[in-house]
A and B are shown apart, each in its own frame.
Chain A
Amino acid sequence: KQEVTQIPAALSVPEGENLVLNCSFTDSAIYNLQWFRQDPGKGLTSLLLIQSSQREQTSGRLNASLDKSSGRSTLYIAASQPGDSATYLCAVRPGPSGGSYIPTFGRGTSLIVHP
């Protein structure tokens, strides 16, 4: 059974810092990995989707990397801003041998960026 762990669970940093959020998974036979952002009381917003054949994806100040063999992904946030404050979740979708489309989510990293 796939298990997804996100470290740290919570993070509080001053504005301007570069951040690294970690996501690890136990079964490397994945199809893709997706990073989401969730604001309090809101749904999930997709940030980046990395296919299993890719090493990284970039969108603005966000960069996500994937090392499938070691079961790890990192989300790098450059020059953090107070507006980045949210919970960040990663979700792993199993590969073809994993059966149906059942993504496994991590518990998230709660980020606070203070001015």
Chain B
Amino acid sequence: DAGVIQSPRHEVTEMGQEVTLRCKPISGHDYLFWYRQTMMRGLELLIYFNNNVPIDDSGMPEDRFSAKMPNASFSTLKIQPSEPRDSAVYFCASSPGNSNTEAFFGQGTRLTVV
């Protein structure tokens, strides 16, 4: 397996534009996580899915953020409209189970909103 695949690797967009980040988890993993990493706040969990169902989205900063997982092999994180303070590295991770299992991270998407 190629691991968790995220696209794009880098995204530069203007304030107010819609941004869509994509993630393909490792095949067979039941859990998918979206994280955001900034210098100020470190690594924060935004939302996670179990079997394509959103379980906890309490980390999503505001309504401008939304995440979907239409099937077991694909998830999106959308920001609409984007703002400069959304600039960060966004990571997707997956794990085979909830308990006592490791999480595998993608390479991340570096988002810059100007």
**Which of the listed residues A41, A44, A108 has the most CB atoms from chain B within 10 Å of its own CB?**
A44
Listed in ascending order, the chain B residues whose CB lies under 8 Å from chain A are 4, 31, 42-45, 48, 55-56, 58-59, 91, 93, 98-108, 110
Closest Cβ of chain A to B20, distance in Å, is 19
Q: Is A89 an interface residue (CB 8 A)?
A: yes
- Residue in A closest to B39 when the chains form the complex, CB atoms: A107
Q: Which residues from chain A contact B31 at a C-beta distance below 8 Å?
A: 101
- Whether the Cβ atoms of A32 and B56 lie closer than 8 Å is no
- Whether the Cβ atoms of A105 and B107 lie closer than 8 Å is no
A31/B108 contact (C-beta < 8 A), A105-B42, A107-B42 known: no
- Whether the Cβ atoms of A102 and B45 lie closer than 8 Å is yes
- Whether the Cβ atoms of B98 and A101 lie closer than 8 Å is yes
Q: Is A100 an interface residue (CB 8 A)?
A: yes
A-B contact count (CB 8 A): 53
Closest Cβ of chain B to A112, distance in Å, is 18
Partner of A89, one of B43, B44, B45, B110: B43
Listed in ascending order, the chain A residues whose CB lies under 8 Å from chain B are 31-32, 34, 36, 41-46, 49, 51, 89, 91, 100-103, 105-108
- Whether the Cβ atoms of A34 and B102 lie closer than 8 Å is yes
- Whether the Cβ atoms of B43 and A100 lie closer than 8 Å is no
Partner of B42, one of A43, A100, A108: A108
Q: Which residues from chain A contact B58 at a C-beta distance below 8 Å?
A: 102
A100/B102 contact (C-beta < 8 A), A107-B42, A108-B42 known: no
- Residue in B closest to A6 when the chains form the complex, CB atoms: B42
> 8 shortest A-B CB distances, which residue pairs?
A43-B105, A105-B43, A44-B105, A46-B102, A107-B42, A100-B56, A43-B107, A43-B108
Q: Mind listing 5 A-B residue pairs with CB under 8 Å?
A: A34-B102, A34-B103, A42-B107, A89-B43, A100-B55
